[in-house]
């Protein structure tokens, strides 16, 4: 990766405030390119139009196409399935957490998140020290 090339994170959440909080936290504490999507459909469009996405932060509970359905579609795509996914969830339901792991997500972040923990989880996912 070139020295001035930053990793790209796609944040998908139907809650505009959560999108803004996540983007602000990433911009304040790190140097990542951030792409925002407020629906499952917008997530898929972003994946189709972006040359490189290094990590997806995916809300589970969204109207229309929820995060579980989006994850199913990601897993069926040869290139997209290689992108690590962390689910964002307000739920602490063990079944939801188990389902996320079974679907190939590398973890989950509970909402609302603590900024330092949020950054730490993302850096771990991207292999940073």
In this prediction, residue 128 has a pLDDT band, given cuts at 50, 70 and 90, of low
Please give the C-alpha separations between residue 35 and each of 54, 102, 122, in angstroms, as whole numbers.
11, 26, 15
What are the domain boundaries of the chain? 8-123
Q: Does residue 11 surpass a pLDDT of 90?
A: yes
The pLDDT mean for the chain works out to: 89
Q: At residue 44, does pLDDT exceed 90?
A: yes
pLDDT at 79: 94
pLDDT tens digit sequence for 56-112:
999 998 999 999 999 999 999 999 999 999 999 887 777 877 777 788 899 889 999
Query: Cβ distance 58 to 12 under 8 Å?
Result: yes
Q: Percent of the chain at pLDDT above 70?
A: 95
Task: Give the integer Cα–Cα distance in Å for 41 and 92.
Answer: 25
- The Cα–Cα gap between 98 and 9 comes to 23
Q: In the predicted model, is pLDDT for residue 129 greater than 50?
A: no
CATH code, 8-123: 3.40.50.2300
With cut-offs at 50, 70 and 90, classify the pLDDT of residue 33.
very high
């Amino acid at each position: 990766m070139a020295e001035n090339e930053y990793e790209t994170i796609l944040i998908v959440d139907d809650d505009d405030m959560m999108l803004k909080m996540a983007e602000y936290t990433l911009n304040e504490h790190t140097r990542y390119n951030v792409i925002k999507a407020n629906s499952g459909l917008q997530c898929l469009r972003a994946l189709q139009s972006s040359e490189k996405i290094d990590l997806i932060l995916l809300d589970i509970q969204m109207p229309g196409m929820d995060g579980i359905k989006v994850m199913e579609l990601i897993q069926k795509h040869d290139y997209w399935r290689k992108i690590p996914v962390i689910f964002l969830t307000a739920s602490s339901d063990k079944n939801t957490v188990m389902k996320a792991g079974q679907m190939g997500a590398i973890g989950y972040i509970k909402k609302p998140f603590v900024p330092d923990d949020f950054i730490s989880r993302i850096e771990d996912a991207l292999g940073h020290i």
